[in-house]
Amino acid sequence: MDSIERNARAVLLPAIDSLELTDDLKRYFDEGGRSLLLGETRAEYVSRRMSDARCASERAEDFRRLADEGASRADRMMIALDQEPAGIERLHGLAPSFGDRAELLSMQEETIRQRAQEVGLRARELGVGMFLGPVVDVLTGRNPWLHGRTLHTDALQVARITRGFISGVQSAGVVATAKHFPGHHDITGDPAIELADVRGTAEDLLPGFDVFRSTIQAGVRAIMTGPTLVPAVDPEYPSSRSERTINMLRCDFGFPGIIVSDDIDAVGMLRGLSDGETAVAAVKAGADLILLPAGRADEVAMHIVAAVRSGDLPEHRLADAIRNVEINSDALQ
C-alpha cells in the first residue's frame, strides 16, 4: 500500500457506537488509520444521555482493551469521544460529571478547571486522547440541533466556563475541541437530518466570535467547524467544506490547531454531493480530521486517494493535515 492510501486514512475520524473493533476497523488501522470516535446511538444523541443498558454494561477495561488493540495496529492512535460540559457525556459514570447547566454556572472558573482536569485524567486512563467538546455556540434564537447541549445565551458566561474546561482537560493531556465554528445562534432546523441554514447577519455572529477568540486565547488545540450553511460567512458552501470559513479561522482568528469537520453525511453538509466528494472538499478547504460513519471509511478514503492522483487534491494537503494533528496532540503529552 502506498503512502497516499495510508495518508488518506490518516485524516479520517470514523465513528462507532460500541466498543468493538470490527474486522473492517482492524484493517483500517492496519492500512494507515489513526483516529476513532467512540460515539453514541441516534437515540442517545437525541436524548443527550447514554442508555441505561450502556451505562450498566460498559466498563473501564472495555475502553482500555479497545485502545490497546487499536494502538497495536496503528502508527499512532487517538481515541475521541463527545464529553461536553452540560451536554453529552459519553463516559457516563466512568468519569466525574459536571452536573447540569445550573451547577456549572454556579462554579468558579478554577473549580471548573479542577473538575475538567479530573475528567481528563480519568479519560487518559481509559485510553482517550480527545474530547469533541465544549459546545461554545451562543444561542440567541431557535436551534433544535443543539437543544440541551449549549451553556448559556450570555457569551461572557460561555467564555468563562469553556476557558476553565479547556484548561483543565488539556492539562490532563486530552485535546479539547471547541465547536461549532462559526457559531449557530439561530438555525432553521437540524442539519444532521435536514437542510438548515443559520439565519442573520455577520453582526449577529459577533458574540459567538468573541467566544471562539476566547477559546483560542485559552490554548484550545482543536476546533470543529459546523455542518451547514452560514450565509453571513459563506453563502455557497457549508462551513466544514468552506475554504472561506476555514481561512477566516486560520487567518482572521489566528487559530493554529486541529480543524475537525462535522459529520460529512449530515444532510446540511452534503447538499447534492456524495460523502466521498464532501470529504475531499473538506480536506481541500483545510480540515485536518474528517468525521464520518465508520462503515464508510474505506470508500471515502478511496475518494480521497482518487482526488490526489487526479490532481484535484494536493498531496501536501494530506501531509499538512496529519502533521497538524501530530503537533497539537503531542504538545499536551
Domains and CATH numbers, the chain: 3-330 (3.20.20.300)
Return d(Cα 307, Cα 233) in angstroms, integer.
27
What is the pLDDT averaged over residues 15-32? 96
Encode pLDDT of 1-12 as tens digits: 689 999 999 999
Q: How confident is the model at residue 331 (pLDDT cuts 50, 70, 90)?
A: confident
E strand intervals along the chain: 12-16, 35-38, 78-81, 130-131, 175-181, 222-225, 258-260, 290-293
Residue 260, pLDDT score:
98
What is the pLDDT averaged over residues 135-159? 87
What is the pLDDT averaged over residues 144-153? 83
Encode pLDDT of 163-179 as tens digits: 999 999 999 999 999 99
Range in 125-134, 154-163, 188-197 with the lowest mean pLDDT = 188-197
What does the mean pLDDT of the chain come to? 94
User: If you ran DSSP here, which 8-state letter would residue 3 be given?
Assistant: H
Residue 143 has pLDDT above 90, yes or no: no
Encode pLDDT of 197-214 as tens digits: 999 899 999 999 999 999
Q: Which residue did the predictor score with more confidence, 46 or 236?
A: 236
What is the pLDDT averaged over residues 305-330? 96
DSSP string of 216-253, one letter each residue: HHTT--EEEEPSSBBTTTBSSS-GGG-HHHHHIIIIIS
